[in-house]
Structure 1
Amino acid sequence: MTSSSSRLARLDLNLLVVLRELLRERNVTRAAARVGVSQPAASAALGRLRRHFDDELLVRRGAGYELSALAHQLVDQVETVCDGIDRLLSTGADFDPATSHHEFTIVMSDYAIAVMGERLAAEAHARAPHVRLNVVLVREALAAGIDRTIRAVDAVVSSATGRFRQPEIRSTLLFRDRWVVVVGRDTVVGDPLTLHDLRDATWVVPYHRDSEFPSVVPVSGQLAALGLRPTVTVRVDSYVAVPFLVASSGHVALMQETMARTMQERLGLRILDPPAPLEPFVERLWWHERLTTDPAHRWFRRIVERAARAL
């Protein structure tokens, strides 16, 4: 028996599933719930993993836990190993949405959740009542770490940047949206808008960085295309928050029309055309090539596309 075979024989491979959830959640109780075991059982598994790796893995910091240096190294590896085991055990098996308890992890912005999340959850539940969705809110640094993220999740909903153009990443078009300028009902601006109006305005801009303009954030690129360096009065790490911060403030914002329309009546927004044509906002579904032929993943991609179809 080789040394690698000997190590495999000594390790209960069920621990890998617990390890994956511990690294994802950084919390024993939540990891236990995701795996479907008791909290004491998850704690015992963590103890066995600590002995195996001779490392704390989860390090207590105040009221929570942080990953140790070794645990950070294990994150991508354990995702890859668990995915490989899952594919091995499902070889030759069809995916039956009516009976499957599969969990799909999808990374989305709050904008994507706002415009298609309801349909996605409804479509998935109607066709696969036992399937679980793990919806992860996108972070500003998604593009910078897309090579790692795409290996750790089932799919990402995002517009394209240069960093998505990697040979192992596949994508399909979901929908297009139009850029509009949004102001409160009492905000005094021209109609039609001029570039002079927008240069004099104060702005709400999501994910803005004064030191990096334009950035990879779609709004930033569109403002640059208009020749604007906005006077940013409110910066927020959210797309959905933007119309709330515009409604009664006197500020203006550039945002996707679909989301603006959903908020228009509730917040009393005025929706205006930009003073010059802008490229449409294009949202795509991205996944790692290893999942392309997987029956469960093919089904999931169809569900996401169906949810986006109305847009």
Structure 2
Amino acid sequence: MAVDRVLANLDLNLLVTLDTLLRERNVTRTAESLGVSQPAVSGALGRLRRHFGDQLLVRVGNRYDLTPLATRVAALTGSALAGVRRVFDATAEFDPSGLDREFVIVSSDYAATILGPLVARRLAAAAPGARLHLRQTTPYAVDHAAETLRSADGLFIPHGFVTDLPYLDLYSDRWVCIVDGDHPDVGDALTLEQLGELPWVALFNGPTAFASAARQLRMLGVEARVDVVVDGFLQMPFLVAGTRRVALIQERLARRLAPVSGVRVLPCPFEVVPVAEAFWWNPLYRNDPAHIWLRGILTAAAAELRHQPD
């Protein structure tokens, strides 16, 4: 069978450069990310432009934007690299000790704080050459999970946001409320009425991005009066401390941050569905030996977390 001419002339290094260029949209940052010289990246960009017959990156003011063709290509490079990686990672017996690979997991700061250290420690012990990249999630990343997982090994997100993708259940957590340690209006417990009156610190505060517990509160007819909006959970206790504000946060994180932030942890004054944290991944990785091994690492780390004292 004749070899495809495009494949015969393909330099796989160009695919790596293309993926990074379209993500960074900057020659200098691409060179720094790949650990090569700026002229080398500029030369690769020239070859890529000739191959595609397209500029790929065009200057708009003081930045570069993707052309329409580059936007379509960017949606393919992540899965293409993953496929190439699976081919060259395949061995008769998978040995993680020789693994040279970066695992990218899109995660909230909550999951990265609670589970991340356990995963990182196990990775370092079993696969010293592997690297863990915990990429901060966004509402867009969650709302477009299938697209997100084209360029990531997985996504830490609770059930209720993602469907129709394979997943691995990890651990559960409870929602709690936090208030300042010396809050003048709150005693040993909060009431629904107080949750409707007090100012809030809220996560994202979008229709699909608000914490699931807050959405359940709305179903009870209580609308939070949002005073501060944040992009992560870690800031919440410090924005509640010293104020009349209240926030909903996961109990495992609240217990860790309460001593350093000066907040009190209180039960939610309503029945709330617990957090069911899971790892979601692209079906392309179903039989990938390295990814199967990663899922085993996550399972072991989650089991360790579940056995930690509350």
Same fold (TM > 0.5):
yes
Q: 1:273 aligns with which of 267, 272, 278?
A: 267
1:161 and 1:216 in contact (8 A); partners too: no
Q: Cα offset for 1:34?
A: 4.0
- Equivalent in 238, 244, 265 of residue 250 of structure 1: 244
Match of 1:283 among 270, 277, 280: 277
Gaps of 5+ in 2: none
- 1:192 alignment counterpart: 189
What is the CA-CA distance between 1:225 and the residue it aligns to? 4.5
SS at match of 2:287: coil
CA distance in 1, matches of 2:213, 2:27: 38
CA distance in 2, matches of 1:21, 1:255: 35
Shift of 1:304: 2.2
Q: Name the residue aligned to 1:296.
A: 290
Q: Note the 1:87-166 alignment, pairs <5 A.
A: 87-161=86-160, 164-166=162-164
- Aligned-pair CA distance for 1:266: 0.7
User: What is the aligned-residue identity percentage?
Assistant: 41
8 Å contact kept, 1:186–1:250: no
CA RMSD, aligned part only?
A: 2.2
Deviation at residue 223 of structure 1 after TM alignment: 2.4
Task: Give TM-score scaled by structure 1 length.
Answer: 0.89
Q: Give the Cα separation in 1 of the matches to 2:95 and 2:64.
A: 37
Q: Give the count of matched residue pairs.
A: 304
After TM superposition, the structure 1 stretch with the greater mean CA deviation from structure 2, 169-178 or 147-156, is 147-156
Question: Contact (CA 8 Å) 1:182, 1:246: kept in 2 or not?
Answer: yes
* Aligned-partner Cα distance in 1 for 2:210–2:178: 21
C-alpha separation in 1, matches of 2:28 and 2:282: 30
Q: Indicate conservation of the 8 Å contact 2:203/2:209, yes or no.
A: no
Deviations 1:242-275 (A, max 9, x none): 1111011210111111111111111111111111
Of 285-294 and 299-308, the range deviating more from structure 2: 299-308
Counterpart CA distance in 1 for 2:179 and 2:213 is 16
**Could you tell me which amino acid in structure 2 is paired with residue 6 of structure 1?**
R
Q: Report if aligned partners of 1:178, 1:280 keep a CA contact under 8 Å in 2.
A: yes
Q: What displacement does 1:76 show?
A: 2.0
Q: In the alignment, residue 175 of structure 2 is paired with which amino acid?
A: W
Amino acid at match of 1:306: A
Range moving further from structure 2, 94-103 or 266-275: 94-103
Counterpart of 1:179 in structure 2: which amino acid?
W
Alpha-carbon distance in structure 1 between the residues aligned to 2:8 and 2:213? 53
Q: Does residue 1:259 correspond to 2:253, yes or no?
A: yes
- With over 3 angstroms needed to count, the CA separation of the structure-2 counterparts of 1:28 and 1:93, relative to structure 1, is farther
Quote the offset at 1:216 in angstroms.
Answer: 5.9
CA distance in 2, matches of 1:61, 1:299: 43
Contact 2:97 2:129 (C-alpha < 8 Å) held by counterparts? yes
TM-score, normalised by the number of residues in structure 2:
0.90
